[in-house]
Amino acid sequence: MPLSPRRGVIDRYVMILCSDDRARHFCLGLNRSQALDRFQPCLSSLIGQMNRLGVWALFMVQYQLKLKLTPRQERQLTHWLRHLGAIWNWAIKKIENDAQRSIYYTSLGFRNLLNGHGAKIGISQDAICGTLGTAYGSWQRCFKRQARKPRFKGRRNRLNSIAFAHGTRILDGRILIPLIGRVRFHKQHIPEGHIGQFRLVKRASGWYACLFIQAEPSTIPRIATEQIGIDPGFDHLLTLSTGEKIAHPRELEQSAQRLAQAQRGINRKAVARVHERIVNRRKDRNHKLSRRLISENSLIVMSADNHSSIARRFGKSVTSSSHYQLRQMLASKASRTDGCEYVEVPSKHSTMRCSDCGELSGPTGLRSLAVRLWVCPCGAEHDRDVNAAINTLIAGAGIALERKVA
């Protein structure tokens, strides 16, 4: 194929479905106009090869629906989870044992190992194939050193989702689930397109259906074309190069009292529900913030901190900020918005360096974290976070220019 996967930030997934039903994923860290400029010489040959192979380029978007299950349907899905957990453990162990004897499987061959077993245990065969495919994908990521070794499911680590190997349909406002029938869900806008895959997820607030729809993702309207640098923090959530400081909502601290009450009462369902609300609030906050930044700016540069190492020292304040999730959302939304570019730069010396003269005269080390204002020998007065955001913008503008020249 003329196009090859790019390593780095995953900005856009392009699924190419071949005539033999095999799926190939290409990761393009570019928006539409940049991709056309970069791959213009090979577009004609690519289109010709796609036409010969019967290939269509499609974008996958994900939507989540909250289901309205009857008590019988909920009991049936809970029964499925127990059996599929055992199937997951069998699949994980079988791949590991067979790999030690140099026995390997293809994805399609491994999914078909338990053909016919669904009717014996009263579970949809499509769900069994989906569980086997998920276990196979987990081991593939482990072999490529992209993830850790998959874990067994048990009482402390329960299986909480049911993957289906094929898609589904929505008829008359109800979603079709194999062996379950038509299931109602809370109404929301769903784009038109083929549902290639779907998964049922059990959470503290109920059951959800995650749909992967072959449709063009919606673009974000532009209202301005500014350029900003972003310095993430924990006192303030974000500090922009324009001097604006975005306050930290502190969703975890706001729910700490209710969480402590549920934990003291040993109410696991209540604890899980509080945690889910905290996660939902963070996700909603990051979605709104990323959409605002994308719509107002043509170049967004953010400091890429090592959150895992910072979290070992500062703990909950790092996880409650959820900066990594915000970076992923910015990268994803910038990739589908024409005229917007997102760049990540290392945070080294961003605080120490003077944004006026470039001298490393600023505060450094853990002891100087209390120093919020400082004066450079050149006479420039700086706010610690605003200066770091300006240095981030300067470094990112150079990277963006290099991309355009290349």
Q: Per-domain residue ranges for the chain? A: 13-54, 66-214, 226-405
**Distance set, CA 108 to CA 100, 125, 335 (Å):** 21, 14, 32
Burial tier of 211 (Cβ tally within 10 Å: 0-12, 13-18, 19+): buried
Which two three-digit tokens encode residue 196?
A: 């290639």
Is the CB of residue 343 less than 8 Å from the CB of residue 400?
yes
The fraction of the chain above a pLDDT of 90, given in percent, is 42
Quote the pTM value. Answer: 0.77
Got the DSSP string for 153-176? P-SSS---EEEESS-B-EETTEEE
Q: Give the model confidence (pLDDT) of 166-213 as tens digits.
A: 989 998 889 999 999 999 999 888 888 889 889 999 999 999 999 999
- pLDDT at residue 31 greater than cutoff 60: no
Measure the CA–CA gap between 43 and 36, rounded to whole angstroms.
8
| Dihedral sign of CA atoms 393, 398, 401, 402 in order | negative
Measure the CA–CA gap between 209 and 67, rounded to whole angstroms.
7
Helix %, strand %, coil % for the chain, to 5?
45, 25, 35
Which DSSP helix (H) or strand (E) runs through 386? helix 384-405
Q: Give the model confidence (pLDDT) of 43-102 as tens digits.
A: 444 444 444 444 444 577 888 999 999 999 999 999 999 999 999 999 999 999 999 999
Range 353-359, long-range pairs (CB < 8 A, 24+ positions):
353/387, 353/391, 354/378, 354/380, 354/382, 354/387, 355/380, 355/382, 355/387, 355/390, 355/391, 355/394, 356/380
| Dihedral sign of CA atoms 7, 11, 16, 17 in order | positive
Neighbours of 332 (CB within 10 A): 19
Fold classification of 226-405 (topology level): Nucleotidyltransferase; domain 5 (3.30.420)
Which two three-digit tokens encode residue 405?
A: 């020249």
Q: What is the mean pLDDT of the chain?
A: 81
Measure the CA–CA gap between 394 and 228, rounded to whole angstroms.
9
